[in-house]
Amino acid sequence: MPIPCEVVGSIPRPLKLQRAFAAYEARQITFEQLEPEINHACEDTIRRMEDAGQLVITDGEQRISSFATYPIFDTLHGTGLAENLVLDGHGQMFAIFADGHERRLPRLVSGPFRFKTFAADYMAQGLHFAQNLVKQAVVAPSMLSLLYPLKSEIPGYTREQFLADLCDQCETDIRKCFQAGAVRVSIDFTEGRLALRNDSRNPWTGERLLDFFLELNNRVINRFTAVERAHIGVHTCPGGDWDSTHSLDVPYELLLKEMFRLMAYIGVTSTIDPRVESPEEIAQMLVAATKYIPADQLGATDDCGFSPFCDDKKPKHGGSPDYARDIAFQKIAARVKGARIASERLGI
């Protein structure tokens, strides 16, 4: 079987869509006015991804605020925030990026924890645009565990009650994707590498949470049969928001010794550098990777989502999300070709 190729999930949102989201947040337009822009971006993303040769596609997460927050609010500034969450600047930091910008999560103030929206709800709206098979990325329970206070408990709602509810919701999130037609679901685990960062500015990164994160994620994954788990992947990365990373300085080997029990899709295209890798470059990376990863466990993907958050202006791409979109599809096409070349050289 040739080396499989997979998109992480997100593609830069067109500038016109970003402006429409901002206008919606500012209550200058209604959702009915926003929705046509979303639909157009989804259709364009799917068409161009298929044209690039990607056999299993996504809608580029054009409908959602971010990979981490789609279950709990509609826009990055909290429009549609779930009732038992507050976005007051006192929630835990998700990440501080190398360029100095940061992303902060809301905080949970009461139970029970429930998803407001499931990934399948978004996915189903774009299925009719797709000719190819569809995958869906979902948030990891480890990421959403950061909604609960780090050092204290919520009155009347213990941490273990929260984690039980969280695992139930994340399991449902995955199952709904398969029921809606996804052939593959990938769990976004970017916080895995960040958990080894030990950044004094971001307290949770110094709490040695990696083992807890892995155990929590496995609580969900282990609810699926071996056959089902063959269609579930786990993605981790150093981040890629506003063309900046949050944990590039953390050696991958510290994380990979825990992750290589799984199918390993290695990143062969940079999502923050506008230079398009050649198919030959990508093929060489994949062939070299087989020194460490069995060929039947190897897949090719991108270093990260191309735009995990919906307001990403892509500064290294001249501040043009539209140009960054063009580059993203060129990189996807190069990855598909490179994986084909590597497969031929490896005889698989």
Mean pLDDT, 10 residues at a time, the chain of 348 residues: 90 97 95 97 98 96 93 90 92 88 94 97 94 96 97 96 99 98 94 87 90 94 95 85 85 61 77 97 94 86 92 95 98 97 94
Question: Nearest-5° angle of CA 112, CA 69, CA 142?
Answer: 70
Measured distance CA(267)–CA(282) in Å, rounded: 9
Residue among 118, 140, 138 at smallest CA distance from 72: 118
User: For residue range 16-40, what is the model confidence (pLDDT) as tens digits?
Assistant: 999 999 999 999 999 999 999 999 9
If you search the block for the tokens 């970003």, which residue do you land on? 18
User: For residue range 90-113, what is the model confidence (pLDDT) as tens digits?
Assistant: 888 888 898 989 899 999 999 999
Measured distance CA(87)–CA(72) in Å, rounded: 11
Measured distance CA(307)–CA(309) in Å, rounded: 6
Residue among 78, 190, 72 at smallest CA distance from 140: 190
Domain regions of the chain by residue span: 15-346
Compute CA distances 15 → 21, 236, 281, whole Å: 10, 27, 31
Continuous segment of H or E residues that includes residue 102? strand 102-104
What is the SS3 assignment for 234? Answer: strand
Whole-number pLDDT of residue 72:
96
Please list, in sequence order, all residues whose beta carbon lies within 8 angstroms of the beta carbon of residue 157, skipping any fewer than 6 positions away. 110, 111, 112
Whole-number pLDDT of residue 257:
57
For the chain, the C-alpha Rg in angstroms (whole number) is: 19
Whole-number pLDDT of residue 252:
64
Q: Where are the alpha helices (DSSP H) in 183-252?
A: 191-194, 210-221, 226-229
Kindly provide the residue ranges of all beta strands, DSSP E only, lying in 219-307, ordered along the sequence.
232-235, 264-269, 298-302
Whole-number pLDDT of residue 272:
96
Measured distance CA(310)–CA(242) in Å, rounded: 10
Measured distance CA(305)–CA(254) in Å, rounded: 22
Largest pairwise CA distance in the chain: 60
Whole-number pLDDT of residue 237:
81
Measured distance CA(136)–CA(156) in Å, rounded: 35
Residue among 51, 40, 45, 37 at smallest CA distance from 11: 45
- Compute CA 153 distance to the chain's CA centroid, rounded to the nearest angstrom: 28
**Structurally, what CATH architecture does the domain formed by 15-346 represent?**
Alpha-Beta Barrel (3.20)
Measured distance CA(295)–CA(97) in Å, rounded: 33
